Amino acid sequence: MKLLLTSQRQYFYCLLAPYTLFIFRVGAQLVQQYSPVDFLPSFERWYSGALAYHWLLLSQLIIIIILTMTLKRFYAAKVSANPQWGKILIGVGTLYFCSMLLRLIAGLTFAQHHSWWGATLPAIFHMVLAIFILLVGLFHYQFSKSSR
């Protein structure tokens, strides 16, 4: 079976998509909080209320730092593949993605009036983060010597 992604640089380019989408999400919500514009969804649509906004923003900035450090390592081809790490990340990423997919489906159907379940934009962007985790896990699993 021929592998689709054959280098760390290719993974870097694939990881740029969820990274960019997440930065857009954080920036769009920040704009809507402090200087709203008509062409973006309202602040409330970006916000589920699970955390106070200042704590949410802090956690998002920490996530952006971690994602940036990960991307830099992939760009420089300095990621050492580890099969155990790959299995863990694939498992966590799959669980995360599926739980946010369930949240999204619930929020679009039977739980749309609940503030957390009905927050579709946060659910979508959690799925974006899960995709980042899955891609990093796939790299570790794919490129580790013991998984071949």
Q: Which residues contact 148 (CB under 8 A, 6 or more apart)?
A: none
Q: Is 89 domain-assigned? A: yes
Range of 14's domain? Answer: 8-147
How much is the pLDDT for 101? Answer: 97
Q: Is 1 domain-assigned? A: no
- Count the domains in the chain: 1
Q: Is 2 domain-assigned? A: no
Cβ count near 30 (within 10 Å)? 15
How much is the pLDDT for 118? Answer: 85
* pTM given for the model: 0.92
Among residues 97, 81, 84, the alpha carbon closest in space to that of 134 is found at 97
pLDDT in tens, 54-86: 999 999 999 999 999 999 999 999 999 999 999
Q: What is the DSSP letter of 113?
A: T
Among residues 26, 18, 21, 20, the alpha carbon closest in space to that of 136 is found at 18
Mean pLDDT, the chain, rounded, equals 92
Q: What is the DSSP letter of 6?
A: -
Q: Is 20 domain-assigned? A: yes
pLDDT in tens, 91-125: 999 999 999 999 999 999 999 888 888 889 999 99
Q: Is 16 domain-assigned? A: yes
